[in-house]
Amino acid sequence: MTMPAEGTTRVLRGLEHSSASVRLQAALAAGTTPGPQFVDKLIERCAMEPAFPVREMLTWALTRHSASITVPRLIDELRSERAQARSQALHTLSKIGDRQAWPAITRALLTDADHEVARSAWRAAVVLVPEGEEPALAGTLATQLGRGERAMRLSLSRGLIALGEVVMPYLRAAMTDLDPRVRQHAIATERLLHDPDAGFEFAIEEAKRSVALERTGQEG
């Protein structure tokens, strides 16, 4: 079903409205009755939308459109200087799940200085990684161990765990890193990999104790 011209105009104007609830309804309408005339505006709005529920609806609306139209445009966004544009494009690509986007998930994005961009890249990479590329991805993700606070570290652990046993050589190497935060994060991730029910907080506390005992042994 094609949206009438007046409806299209109303949606496009709604996406720029000052009210978040109006923008939300416009994004819903664009996804309910998708059409190529909405794609550029939806992507443009993703790069600047301040309200999280609206961003999620924009992403949903884009997943309702043809990947042949959305994926190339989203890949273009990955080169944007605006961090939110990169982050939201990665998030949307992970939801679309089209593996043609895989080559665009570069090491630069996986190690992006912006935490939200990096986290979105990790999630997208784990979804899109082709068979056989998991070890190389695990190696890149392992370079980020110890980064950020709890939410950041948990995101990375989840990404590594999703790759399975291929991550173990990289975790073992990180367990001997000079940085105690890296060692703790690697130990906690390994424990979660083999005992998913342990919980991240418990695994981190256990890892901290392990690193502290190791340090005490070295000093003794």
**Domain that includes residue 182, residue range:** 134-220
Query: Is residue 21 in some structural domain?
Result: no
CA distance 34 to 141: 36
CA distance 197 to 210: 19
Query: Is residue 206 in some structural domain?
Result: yes
Instruction: Output b/e per residue, 20-55; b: 16+ Cβ within 10 A.
Output: eeebbbbbbbbbebbbeebbebbbbbbbebeeeebb
Mean pLDDT of 50-66: 98
**Residue 59 CB partners (closer than 8 Å, separation 6+):** 46, 88, 91, 92, 95
CA distance 126 to 123: 5
Q: How confident is the model at residue 216 (pLDDT cuts 50, 70, 90)?
A: low
Query: Is residue 100 in some structural domain?
Result: no
Q: Which of 147, 181, 189 is nearest to 165 (CA)?
A: 189
Query: Is residue 187 in some structural domain?
Result: yes
Query: Is residue 170 in some structural domain?
Result: yes
pTM (global) more than 0.85: yes
CA distance 88 to 76: 12
Taking the CA atoms of the chain, what radius of gyration do you get in angstroms? 21
pLDDT digits (tens, 9 = 90+) for 133-143: 999 999 999 99
Would the pLDDT of 160 be above 80? yes
CA distance 137 to 141: 6
Q: Which of 158, 186, 159 is nearest to 171 (CA)?
A: 186
Query: Is residue 109 in some structural domain?
Result: no
Would the pLDDT of 6 be above 80? yes
CA distance 28 to 11: 9
Query: Is residue 104 in some structural domain?
Result: no
Mean pLDDT of 57-75: 98
Query: Is residue 219 in some structural domain?
Result: yes
CA distance 160 to 107: 15
* Count of domains forming the chain: 1
CA angle 164, 174, 139 (to 5 degrees): 50
Please report the DSSP string for 100-128 in residue order. GGGGGS-HHHHT-SSHHHHHHHHHHHHHH
Q: And the tokens for 113?
A: 């200085």
Mean pLDDT of 74-96: 98
